[in-house]
Amino acid sequence: MKIKILTLLSYTLIGGLQYSSFAQPRILTASVFDIAPWGYKDDQGKITGIEYEIIQAISKEIKEEIKINLVPYNRMIYQLKNGNADFGIFFRSKKSETSAEPLIKWGELDIIIISKKGTQIKDYKDIKKLKIAVRLGGLFDKKFDNDKTIFKVSQRDYAESISKLTEGKVDAVIGTAATLFYELKKQKVDINSLSTPFYLSKKEDWLHFSRLSKNKHKKEKLKNAVTKLIKDGTFNKIFMKYLPKKWQHH
């Protein structure tokens, strides 16, 4: 009789724990790649950046906490593929679609080429005359990326690219406007010492949702929040803080 009671009690406890675990709401988790100004830690060690602010705006709109993982780009992809993060925000591409479901586009980012004053780029043909610093592994524009007639110099990162530009070792640097402006400020390079940026193209930035997420029932909630924050100008207001007025291209 005692064995039966103990067995019944064990099943009750296990069942209760399983129910408790099932009923426990799972906090939304966003994975953000650690590249300034998109996501990085400030001098106080706090996470900040464009994507951080966008996610905070989404969190406020849906009235729900969103945990943020600041990780290297490849780890972000790994977390999304394995369901360890619910969503991330990054460029949409054929490759990105294999890692997570493109849920909704939040914005388009300018791909620009910057050069020192005196080096004018009026059209695509002018690019072919220059030695251009390109971040290692960076993909910016299909035509540019595949054009073997352009003198491209691979650099470790944007910091090295800007250094080479200021030292006169390259003629120009390609990248997203926000990233280049952040690095120029960091290295104390006055943008007035540069020519007007050449706007090459735009890349779509999407919220990608993990196919293995345990929060799939929240996809529409996120989608609706992003739609509203685009329409009311919240996202645009956030993004424009990271660009100089003379670079705010529409």
- Cα separation, 132 vs 47, in Å, equals 32
Residue 4's pLDDT is what? Answer: 47
Q: Which domains does the chain have, with CATH numbers?
A: 28-108+203-247 (3.40.190.10), 110-202 (3.40.190.10)
- Cα separation, 189 vs 183, in Å, equals 9
Residue 2's pLDDT is what? Answer: 46
- Cα separation, 38 vs 83, in Å, equals 22
Distances (CA, A) of 118 to 115, 130, 243: 8, 12, 22
- What's the pTM value of the predicted model, to 2 decimals? 0.84
**Helix/strand/coil (H, E, C) string of the chain?**
CHHHHHHHHHHHHHHHHHHHHHHCCCCEEEEEECCCCCCEECCCCCEECHHHHHHHHHHHHHCCCEEEEEECHHHHHHHHHHCCCCEEEEECCHHHHHHCEEEEEEEEEEEEEEEECCCCCCCHHHHCCCEEEEECCCCCCHHHHHCCCCEEEEECCHHHHHHHHHCCCCCEEEEEHHHHHHHHHHCCCCHHHECCCEEEEEEEEEEEECCCCCCHHHHHHHHHHHHHHHHCCHHHHHHHCCCCHHHCCC
Residue 223 is encoded by which pair of tokens? 């989608």
Are 55 and 66 in contact by the 8 Å Cβ rule? The answer is yes
Residue 25's pLDDT is what? Answer: 60
Residue 160's pLDDT is what? Answer: 97
- Residue 65: name the closest of 28, 23, 21 by CA: 28
Name which residue leads in pLDDT, 13 or 198: 198
Give the residue-averaged pLDDT of 174-194: 96
Residue 24's pLDDT is what? Answer: 53
Residue 163's pLDDT is what? Answer: 97
Q: In which band, very low, low, confident or very high, does the pLDDT at 23 lie, cut at 50, 70 and 90?
A: very low
236-249: pLDDT as tens digits: 999 999 999 888 76
Residue 212 is encoded by which pair of tokens? 């293995």
Our measurement of the distance from residue 234's CA atom to the centroid of its chain's CA atoms, rounded to an integer in Å, reads: 17
Q: Which residues pair with 115 in a beta bridge?
A: 172
109-162: pLDDT as tens digits: 999 999 999 998 999 999 999 999 999 988 899 999 999 999 999 999 999 999
Residue 184's pLDDT is what? Answer: 97
